């Protein structure tokens, strides 16, 4: 079984707050459903490796644009 990083739900919430996005808007940006983002934030599902990579890539892109502050994760 895949293990979810303990801080993943909080990280998703933090990214959304920093960017001022709704769950639906973040889901659209990542190419996943609203329900998927909601389940991640509520620790109901574990994101796949692909989804974690996609989220990390999205965060790096936003950080490079100066829109997101990455807290110690590089």
Q: Where are the domains of the chain?
A: 8-64
pLDDT grade for 4, boundaries at 50, 70 and 90: low
The CATH code for residues 8-64 is 1.10.260.40
pLDDT band at 6 (very low <50, low <70, confident <90, very high): confident
Token pair in block for residue 26: 């973040």
Q: What is the pLDDT of residues 33-51, one digit of tens each?
A: 999 999 999 999 989 999 9
Residue 60 pLDDT: 96
pTM of the model: 0.84
Please report which residue ranges of the chain form alpha helices under DSSP H: 8-19, 23-30, 34-41, 49-64
Q: What is the rounded CA–CA span in Å between residue 41 and residue 63?
A: 20
């Amino acid at each position: 079984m895949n293990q979810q990083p303990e801080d993943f739900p909080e990280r998703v919430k933090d990214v959304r707050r920093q960017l001022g996005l709704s769950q639906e808007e973040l889901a659209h940006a990542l190419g996943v459903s609203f329900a998927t983002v909601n389940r991640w934030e509520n620790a109901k599902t574990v994101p796949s490796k692909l989804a974690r990579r996609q989220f990390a890539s999205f965060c790096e892109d936003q950080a490079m644009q100066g829109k997101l502050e990455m807290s110690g994760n590089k």
